[in-house]
């Protein structure tokens, strides 16, 4: 189609990086979100909801000033700056530190599903609004806590039908210790480069020979035996302890039966946020990580409550692209039609089918039947006439109530509409 | 065998990139293709299970970030201009050039005056970041090519562009007044591919890195 002037009208467009989800896509995302909610809830993580807007200061307090120029900002009535949340861990840390930890004690297991907003580059094709689902385990600093959230992450992927995903685990406490001997400016430079994933020429950023050796080896510190190979780079007992702790987490994951885990010390995520173990899941079919998380023991302290914490977040739209949801067409499968005379009976039938888990539309006339529906039911003169559009011939035929239930895959129980 | 897609850029890096792949043994049947049609993406026959795609330089990081290609070869200048979430694994050494600010030879002394300069460039972000560190104000004119013509027709006072030998600057009577960055070709890798295709990809990275180091 040629681009005409009228097609550039504002109301035909959406701002860059924002999009609509038509029913099919919305149903897919909804199915993935429900599977995640249910999984989190079964593991004892209770859902919390925080506002979409926070004070800009709160977000900067939690995530560091580096993020500030990537936020959607709004000037509030009193002239105060608000921002749309770019993720949900910081709002939860605020909520926990100011209220929940005091009211409920620790550990706290919290979950969330909600929209987040990022001010990405114009034209980069990256979404500026997307959905994150995740959990936070607050007040538990032991390796078992890290293993629990990693195992839950693996379970969440499995529940969404993702096959072949592997969780890659690194540790920033180990890296920080190995870089601790560098002068402050050099340390910052190396961290910046690691954050930008610039491994080319990385070793040249450090004049210190042992740090340079580590930086050269870093892209190879993954796979079996990594913990032993990395041991020589520990600078102090802190680095050795970090590796031992990572070993303890892996042993615990074995007991969980989580086997698709690999140590990968080049997993960095973000130094301004994470303090210890970090992890990302990768799987076939997408060039992006399926989820990411780790330990952030310093974050709650920024809101006045010293408290170890770990968790992860999943990009729900990205996961939807590779997830295999059970049933997510978004379209009503059953349509019931009747003339005005038989309307009451038709509505009772629809009500019964809905109660038994079927998605039902009541159409006033056969001409108003949605094209995507599979089953057409016409009620007239006490008779039920069924059309299965997917069946051979696809003709209309009279059925008994028991036959109707069988055709729709329902248990043969008698419905309430019968009298 | 796991299939791999590698994307190489059209333009000045293409021949060296193909030569490197050939030396590394990954490009076998493409001996005749020295200069594929410049403006068109195309797919070259590679080694078993390796597909080589040719794309515009600025598109290479996008191919790799989104996973359409697992590995790419691209100039550091492109990586500096726009942030991409990809691994920059190896400095390949070839394609060396510099980004410089240049003014018409007769106006070069304006660099020291501190008046507003209009600078034409294909790298608006790098240029903006550079001038943030400078005492003089700047107005950036973003262009897609033939930047060196801009001062001659009054579109800008000067330029920020790539220089290899300096011949283009001299031919257009421009004088370098400041160096902004140095660039060489880089090997970049998708975040997921580095992990999900490690067994196939790591040997390729090692071989290409070794050949690049040896080839000079």
Helices A172-179 and A209-217, packing angle to 10 deg: 150
Q: What 3-state class would DSSP assign to A156?
A: helix
d(CA B212, CA A255): 45
Tokens standing for A208? 């210190």
Q: How many CB pairs under 8 A join A and B?
A: 57
Sign of the Cα pseudo-torsion (B202, B205, B208, B212, in order): negative
Q: What 3-state class would DSSP assign to A51?
A: coil
Q: Is the pLDDT assigned to residue B46 strictly greater than 50?
A: yes
Closest of A194, A169, A150, A166 to residue A279, by C-alpha: A169
Does B196 sit within 8 Å of A121, measured CB to CB?
Answer: no
Q: Do residues A68 and A60 touch, judged by C-beta distance below 8 A? A: yes
Q: Is the pLDDT assigned to residue B216 strictly greater than 60?
A: no
Q: A77: which residues sit within 8 A by CB, 6+ positions away?
A: none
pLDDT of res. B39:
44
Displacement of CA B92 from its chain's centroid (Å):
12
Q: Do residues B57 and B78 touch, judged by C-beta distance below 8 A? A: yes
d(CA B215, CA B23): 9
pLDDT of res. A122:
66
Alpha helices, DSSP H, located in A265-395: 316-322, 343-355
For B2, list phi and psi in degrees, rounded to 5. Answer: -65, 130
Q: Parallel, antiparallel, or unpaired: how do β-strands A309-315 and A291-295 relate?
A: antiparallel
Tokens standing for A348? 């009772």
Tokens standing for A122? 């114009």
Residue matched to tokens 């500096």: B80
DSSP letter at A107 equals -
Q: For residue range A218-265, what is the model confidence (pLDDT) as tens digits?
A: 888 999 999 999 999 999 999 999 999 999 999 999 999 999 999 999
Q: For residue range A354-391, what is the model confidence (pLDDT) as tens digits?
A: 898 888 888 877 777 777 788 999 998 889 999 998 88
Burial class for A51, CB neighbours closer than 10 Å (0-12, 13-18, 19+): exposed
d(CA B180, CA B152): 22
Q: What is the largest CA-CA distance in chain A?
A: 91
Does B62 sit within 8 Å of A125, measured CB to CB?
Answer: yes
Q: Do residues B64 and B189 touch, judged by C-beta distance below 8 A? A: yes
Our CA angle for B87, B90, B95, nearest 5°, is: 115
Question: Hey, of A169, A287, A290, which one would you mutate to test binding to chain B, going by the most B CBs within 10 A of its CB?
Answer: A287
Q: B109: which residues sit within 8 A by CB, 6+ positions away?
A: none
pLDDT of res. A65:
78
Using a CB-CB cut-off of 8 Å, the residues of chain B touching A168 are 195
Tokens standing for A174? 């180990």
For A107, list phi and psi in degrees, rounded to 5. Answer: -75, 155
Does A284 sit within 8 Å of B196, measured CB to CB?
Answer: yes
Q: Do residues A74 and A62 touch, judged by C-beta distance below 8 A? A: no
d(CA A171, CA A248): 13
More confidently predicted of B25 and A291: A291
| pTM above threshold 0.90 | no
Does A283 sit within 8 Å of B87, measured CB to CB?
Answer: no
Q: Parallel, antiparallel, or unpaired: how do β-strands B71-75 and B185-189 relate?
A: antiparallel
Does A287 sit within 8 Å of B68, measured CB to CB?
Answer: yes
Closest of A278, A178, A246 to residue A191, by C-alpha: A178
d(CA B25, CA B12): 22
Using a CB-CB cut-off of 8 Å, the residues of chain A touching B89 are 199-200, 219
Cis peptide before A20 (omega within 30 of 0): no
Helix (H) or strand (E) holding B175: strand B174-183
d(CA A80, CA A69): 16
- Answer left, alpha or beta for residue A54, where phi above 0 means left and psi between -120 and 50 means alpha: beta
Q: Report the chain B residue with the minimal C-alpha distance to residue A196.
A: B85
Helix (H) or strand (E) holding A362: strand A360-363
d(CA B55, CA B35): 13
**In this predicted complex, what is the ipTM?**
0.80
Helices A23-42 and A143-159, packing angle to 10 deg: 140
Write the residue in A196, A201, A287 that is nearest to B193 by C-beta. Answer: A287
pLDDT of res. B108:
84
Q: For residue range B51-66, what is the model confidence (pLDDT) as tens digits?
A: 889 999 999 999 999 9
DSSP letter at A8 equals G
d(CA A361, CA A51): 35
Residue B215: pLDDT band by 50, 70, 90 thresholds?
confident
Using a CB-CB cut-off of 8 Å, the residues of chain B touching A284 are 196
Average pLDDT value over all residues in chain B: 89
Tokens standing for A50? 């925080």
Q: Do residues B180 and B95 touch, judged by C-beta distance below 8 A? A: no
Alpha carbon distances (Å) from A196 to A110, A169, A269, A344: 30, 18, 9, 65
Helix (H) or strand (E) holding A385: strand A383-388
Which residues does chain A have with pLDDT short of 50? Answer: 418-419
d(CA A231, CA B132): 43
Question: Hey, of B196, B203, B212, which one would you mutate to test binding to chain A, going by the most A CBs within 10 A of its CB?
Answer: B196
Alpha carbon distances (Å) from B23 to A331, A382, B204: 55, 81, 12
d(CA A92, CA A361): 40
Using a CB-CB cut-off of 8 Å, the residues of chain B touching A287 are 64-68, 190-193
Q: Is the pLDDT assigned to residue B152 strictly greater than 60?
A: yes
Does B198 sit within 8 Å of A287, measured CB to CB?
Answer: no
The 3-class SS string of B69-111 reads CCEEEEEHHHHHHCCCCCEEEEECCCCCEEEEEEEEHHHHHHH
């Amino acid at each position: 189609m040629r681009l005409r002037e009228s097609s550039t009208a504002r109301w035909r467009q959406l701002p860059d990086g924002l999009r609509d989800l038509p029913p099919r896509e919305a149903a897919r995302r909804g199915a993935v979100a429900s599977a995640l909610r249910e999984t989190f809830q079964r593991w004892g993580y209770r859902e919390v909801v925080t506002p979409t807007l926070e004070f800009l200061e709160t977000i900067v307090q939690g995530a560091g000033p580096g993020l500030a120029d990537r936020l959607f900002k709004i000037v509030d009535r009193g002239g105060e700056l608000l921002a749309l949340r770019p993720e949900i861990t910081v709002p939860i840390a605020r909520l926990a530190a100011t209220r929940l930890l005091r009211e409920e004690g620790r550990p706290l297991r919290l979950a969330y599903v909600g929209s987040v907003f990022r001010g990405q580059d114009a034209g980069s094709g990256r979404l500026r609004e997307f959905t994150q689902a995740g959990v936070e385990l607050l007040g538990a600093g032991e390796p078992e806590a890290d293993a629990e959230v990693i195992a839950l992450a693996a379970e969440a992927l499995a529940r969404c039908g993702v096959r072949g995903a592997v969780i890659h685990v690194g540790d920033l406490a180990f890296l920080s210790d190995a870089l601790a001997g560098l002068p402050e400016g050099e340390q910052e430079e190396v961290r910046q480069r690691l954050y930008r994933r610039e491994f080319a020429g990385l070793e040249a950023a450090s004049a210190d020979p042992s740090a340079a050796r580590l930086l050269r080896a870093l892209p190879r510190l993954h796979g079996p035996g990594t913990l032993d190979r990395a041991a020589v780079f520990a600078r102090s007992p802190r680095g050795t302890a970090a590796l031992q702790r990572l070993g303890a987490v892996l042993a615990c994951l074995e007991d969980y039966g989580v086997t698709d885990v690999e140590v990968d010390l080049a997993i960095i995520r973000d130094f301004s946020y994470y303090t210890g173990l970090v992890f990302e899941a990768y799987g076939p079919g997408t060039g992006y990580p399926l989820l990411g998380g780790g330990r952030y023991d310093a974050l709650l302290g920024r809101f006045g409550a010293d408290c170890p914490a770990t968790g992860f977040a999943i990009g729900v739209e990205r996961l939807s692209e590779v997830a295999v949801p059970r049933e997510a067409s978004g379209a009503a499968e059953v349509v019931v039609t009747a003339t005005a005379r038989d309307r009451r009976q038709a509505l009772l039938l629809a009500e019964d089918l809905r109660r038994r888990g079927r998605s039902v539309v009541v159409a006033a006339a056969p001409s108003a039947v949605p094209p995507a529906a599979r089953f057409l039911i016409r009620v007239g003169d006490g008779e039920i006439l069924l059309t299965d559009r997917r069946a051979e011939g696809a003709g209309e035929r009279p059925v008994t109530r028991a036959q109707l239930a069988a055709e729709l895959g329902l248990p043969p129980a008698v419905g309430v509409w019968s009298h | 065998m796991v299939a791999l897609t590698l994307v190489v850029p059209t333009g000045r890096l293409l021949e060296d990139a193909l030569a490197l792949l050939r030396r590394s043994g990954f490009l076998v049947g493409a001996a005749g293709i020295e200069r594929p049609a410049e403006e068109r993406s195309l797919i070259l026959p590679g080694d078993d299970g390796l597909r080589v795609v040719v794309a515009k330089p600025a598109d290479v990081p996008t191919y790799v970030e989104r996973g359409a290609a697992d590995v790419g070869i691209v100039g550091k200048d492109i990586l500096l201009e726009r942030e991409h979430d990809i691994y920059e694994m190896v400095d390949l050494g070839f394609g060396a050039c510099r980004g410089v600010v240049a003014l018409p030879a007769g106006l070069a002394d304006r660099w020291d005056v501190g008046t507003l300069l209009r600078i034409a460039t294909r790298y608006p972000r790098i240029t903006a970041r550079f001038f943030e560190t400078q005492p003089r104000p700047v107005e950036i004119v973003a262009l897609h090519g033939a930047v060196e013509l801009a001062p001659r027709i009054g579109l800008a006072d000067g330029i920020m562009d790539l220089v290899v030998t300096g011949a283009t600057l001299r031919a257009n009577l421009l004088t370098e007044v400041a160096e902004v960055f140095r660039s060489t070709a880089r090997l970049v890798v998708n975040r997921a591919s580095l992990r999900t295709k490690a067994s196939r990809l790591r040997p390729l990275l090692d071989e290409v890195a070794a050949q690049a180091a040896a080839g000079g």
